[in-house]
Structure 1
């Protein structure tokens, strides 16, 4: 029969704290023997982790594989991300002559970024599967930018490649098409109401609202789908669940915009927790330091600043000075950026600028100028006047920067200067302010992706997790380009676990 006691207890407790809006509506379930449908592997979510899990479950010979997506399109947050993928020893990196990289080097960087809270064994496993995930994408028809492999914030090597069009949709589309050809079934507008467990605490299936129209939880009809071998949670994070966000991290500025789609609200994670799944690191919610206040959602700023962070500088509008190492990790940069405030506490949006003449036809620049989330200025005088920056201090900052570029050192902030460029007008200028981007926390799993029960610290039978819905992997901060890596590789690892368990 359906085990609902823990779910009802959690729902009552969270309601008192204002979180009930983030939980699924509770419906009385019929005995678990009354199934409307049976599959072998049920995957919840259609982002990188869900699509990879489904495709690899099929390739592992696990039988009928069904992917359920609550929204009206395939892809989740993965489809709208920047398409960055960290792959040590990728072919482009090797062609550039970078031969001293390795999975261990990547893990070393991640452990530093995790600030003592990352899972080294899990990160090592993921990094060692990076090339396999890369080839899975290429074999599916994903195109990566020719000769593009750069060093992004917090990494000690250039190992980040990017999709041809600069979006994760380049990957989700191809994995979806490949999965469909190989027999994976996908269904949209299916909202997971609850997990159905037997008396032994083993997950047997799910209660689903079929025909759901976000965000109305009264739409659609209830069906019960049995999963003979496994249910894989690949439903993403909860950054759009404002009540839950506020409860787990009251320090997070509630006015911050987010990069995630509106459906990233964490109901699947909460439903699993209601049945005893162990949550970890829920208060570790990462902001993207490349956000722009001049565009909503994910936007183009991430792409534009892949130039700005490397070649240009960021200055405070309050004093015209640099205030951080522009190539540090996300947490370091976000913290530094958000200290820029007017006396009344409102944001004093810092600026990032670099040389226009070095990139006049670059699609990242063309799009940003077109959409007015960046501007071309012909001089420092124009920049200072347009953005109300002290001109004398700004000129001093640029002169000092150019001298540091020639010297190849940054004594002020310790920035690596191998890609730094002397600044000469005209400039491309954009304003920045962090956006809520990624949940470090979620369901705790073992190395094979089995979701752990908080009461026994043993796996909940037939319940697995992959991607952002899981937690405890990256620690306090995740490095750029490693979410795609984690999701795709865990989508390869979890089906192998299921096959072994089955």
Structure 2
């Protein structure tokens, strides 16, 4: 039996050999650390991670009056991946959507799209729960002071309705900063540079965490060890592992190791591994999603996500190899990413496709201004100039644009069955960018029940006092996640897990 005297010593530099040893030791393995725990402090609820999920949980758990809530963030800034994402949120029946006259949407319609995207692998009851409570997530944001773009509600890839709204500045930081302000104002304590080295267990129940405080990523020689008792529960909201190259290679050897990643540097997944060591059940760990809106001309998340939200709707993408379209530009992420990555030179190196739309339709749009300023896109004055700049056969490119314009006029795409309702007749000057997918989201993680309770691998029953939400969980979306649904999931599950924790404490 695992006691609270036992520890698994984990570092940030996890090797493949170390991973193999960890997976075979089992949750009840003997350990060499037998010293009695001396608690440095006691709180009621510990939340690991400060993104959408962690901060939603912090606000909502605190409002349940369950005692002291402590948020631990590994990095030197709050927000994690959430702070640098595009600020998109899919909300059926949101006020902007209704004002636009889109009255035929519903939570069931969103779930239908997600089931299709998940390719038979999604957790339908979980998706239904999240979608049915989506307006609660919207209300949480608005009541916390989050501003959304006035009149902005669009249909994004894989969705059958226009239901995606966006924050005022086009970044998830618009949400994380406001939730953090509310959490702190209402009494939640949040700490930076707190690396969780291990869970402290007693008879299969998590009772606290071993933390390296004042840690400076990625130097494991920094910080001081503290033991924090969590008398009522620990909520895991630490995100995925897309920046952990060893784990990526282990779980999905087919994933191109040269692909860039949109995630913050701290998305390395060590807390997930710790939970697995203590018996938590992982699911879908090999399902690692790429974002088809990446640009090879900028690092990390960048502006391409925002710019291509115009391109995929209004413009088109062609291969530099033959000047022809090669995909439905409005399909889901997996479909588009796979189509884009087929564009390769004979030696296997990427032949970056180009994607473009009319410059004069958006000359002052901040997405265009920023992309041109940062040189991840170019203003090109003619088809001839575009063909020359990107070494594309001019005649083939002209033919493809003419064919696209015919499809726009007919409102029908016989090549890829793309929905053409927002497509525009293309004429120069153009805004042109190169595209190539980036590793973006881990579909896999810890399996939970509908309430966010982490399930044990041996019994498939909840592990006492241990909860997980957001990208630290797995099995919710299936093979691929639709755009603008992660923020929704995180915010809603922060609400749900607070209710679960309160219910569990009532007995």
Equivalent of 2:476, from 473, 478, 481?
Answer: 473
2:302 maps to 1:299: yes
* Corresponding residue for residue 278 of structure 1: 281
The root-mean-square deviation of aligned C-alpha atoms, in Å, is 1.6
- Once the two structures are TM-superposed, the CA of residue 31 in structure 1 deviates from its matched residue by 2.6
Give the secondary-structure state (helix, strand or coil) at the position aligned to 2:348: coil
- 1:272-296 C-alpha deviation (Å, 9 max, x unpaired): 0000000000000000000000000
2:261 maps to 1:251: no
Distance 1:3 1:15, change over 3 A: farther
- Once the two structures are TM-superposed, the CA of residue 211 in structure 1 deviates from its matched residue by 0.8
For 1:30 and 1:386, locate their aligned partners in 2 and report how far apart those are by CA, in whole Å.
Answer: 67
- Once the two structures are TM-superposed, the CA of residue 14 in structure 1 deviates from its matched residue by 4.9
Distance 1:112 1:248, change over 3 A: same
- Once the two structures are TM-superposed, the CA of residue 30 in structure 1 deviates from its matched residue by 3.5
Q: How does 1:260-409 map to 2 (within 5 A)?
A: 260-409=263-412
Distance 1:205 1:432, change over 3 A: same
Give the secondary-structure state (helix, strand or coil) at the position aligned to 2:272: helix
Equivalent of 1:15, from 17, 25, 39?
Answer: 17
* Corresponding residue for residue 25 of structure 2: none
For 1:38 and 1:283, locate their aligned partners in 2 and report how far apart those are by CA, in whole Å.
Answer: 37
2:193 maps to 1:189: yes
Give the secondary-structure state (helix, strand or coil) at the position aligned to 2:229: strand
- 1:205-232 C-alpha deviation (Å, 9 max, x unpaired): 0000001000011210111000111100
For 2:392 and 2:136, locate their aligned partners in 1 and report how far apart those are by CA, in whole Å.
Answer: 49
For 2:259 and 2:36, locate their aligned partners in 1 and report how far apart those are by CA, in whole Å.
Answer: 44
- Once the two structures are TM-superposed, the CA of residue 60 in structure 1 deviates from its matched residue by 1.1
For 2:478 and 2:20, locate their aligned partners in 1 and report how far apart those are by CA, in whole Å.
Answer: 27
For 1:170 and 1:101, locate their aligned partners in 2 and report how far apart those are by CA, in whole Å.
Answer: 26
For 1:83 and 1:343, locate their aligned partners in 2 and report how far apart those are by CA, in whole Å.
Answer: 38
Give the secondary-structure state (helix, strand or coil) at the position aligned to 2:463: strand
Give the secondary-structure state (helix, strand or coil) at the position aligned to 2:495: helix
Give the secondary-structure state (helix, strand or coil) at the position aligned to 2:155: coil
- Once the two structures are TM-superposed, the CA of residue 240 in structure 1 deviates from its matched residue by 0.5
For 1:50 and 1:29, locate their aligned partners in 2 and report how far apart those are by CA, in whole Å.
Answer: 32
* Corresponding residue for residue 222 of structure 1: 225
For 1:375 and 1:84, locate their aligned partners in 2 and report how far apart those are by CA, in whole Å.
Answer: 25
Distance 1:423 1:190, change over 3 A: same
For 1:158 and 1:168, locate their aligned partners in 2 and report how far apart those are by CA, in whole Å.
Answer: 20
Give the secondary-structure state (helix, strand or coil) at the position aligned to 2:46: strand
Q: TM-score, normalised by structure 2?
A: 0.95
Distance 1:168 1:16, change over 3 A: closer
For 2:315 and 2:177, locate their aligned partners in 1 and report how far apart those are by CA, in whole Å.
Answer: 34
Q: How does 1:168-183 map to 2 (within 5 A)?
A: 168-183=172-187
- Once the two structures are TM-superposed, the CA of residue 16 in structure 1 deviates from its matched residue by 5.2
* Aligned length in residues: 493
The 8 Å contact of residues 8 and 198 in structure 2, kept in 1 or not, is answered as no
Gaps of 5+ in 2: 23-30
The 8 Å contact of residues 19 and 243 in structure 1, kept in 2 or not, is answered as no
Give the secondary-structure state (helix, strand or coil) at the position aligned to 1:319: coil
* Corresponding residue for residue 26 of structure 2: none
Gaps of 5+ in 1: 21-25
Q: TM-score, normalised by structure 1?
A: 0.96
Give the secondary-structure state (helix, strand or coil) at the position aligned to 2:219: coil
The 8 Å contact of residues 296 and 436 in structure 2, kept in 1 or not, is answered as yes
- Once the two structures are TM-superposed, the CA of residue 29 in structure 1 deviates from its matched residue by 6.2
For 1:457 and 1:140, locate their aligned partners in 2 and report how far apart those are by CA, in whole Å.
Answer: 37
- 1:422-441 C-alpha deviation (Å, 9 max, x unpaired): 00100000000000000000
* Corresponding residue for residue 159 of structure 1: 163
- Once the two structures are TM-superposed, the CA of residue 129 in structure 1 deviates from its matched residue by 1.1
The 8 Å contact of residues 208 and 224 in structure 1, kept in 2 or not, is answered as yes
The 8 Å contact of residues 19 and 244 in structure 1, kept in 2 or not, is answered as no
For 1:19 and 1:369, locate their aligned partners in 2 and report how far apart those are by CA, in whole Å.
Answer: 49
2:121 maps to 1:141: no
For 2:468 and 2:167, locate their aligned partners in 1 and report how far apart those are by CA, in whole Å.
Answer: 26
Equivalent of 1:2, from 1, 4, 13?
Answer: 4
* Corresponding residue for residue 203 of structure 1: 206
The 8 Å contact of residues 77 and 192 in structure 2, kept in 1 or not, is answered as yes
The 8 Å contact of residues 86 and 305 in structure 2, kept in 1 or not, is answered as yes
For 2:9 and 2:288, locate their aligned partners in 1 and report how far apart those are by CA, in whole Å.
Answer: 24
For 1:495 and 1:36, locate their aligned partners in 2 and report how far apart those are by CA, in whole Å.
Answer: 25
- 1:125-174 C-alpha deviation (Å, 9 max, x unpaired): 00111100101000000000000000000000000000000000000000
- Once the two structures are TM-superposed, the CA of residue 61 in structure 1 deviates from its matched residue by 1.2
For 1:420 and 1:360, locate their aligned partners in 2 and report how far apart those are by CA, in whole Å.
Answer: 17
* Corresponding residue for residue 414 of structure 1: 417
* Corresponding residue for residue 23 of structure 1: none
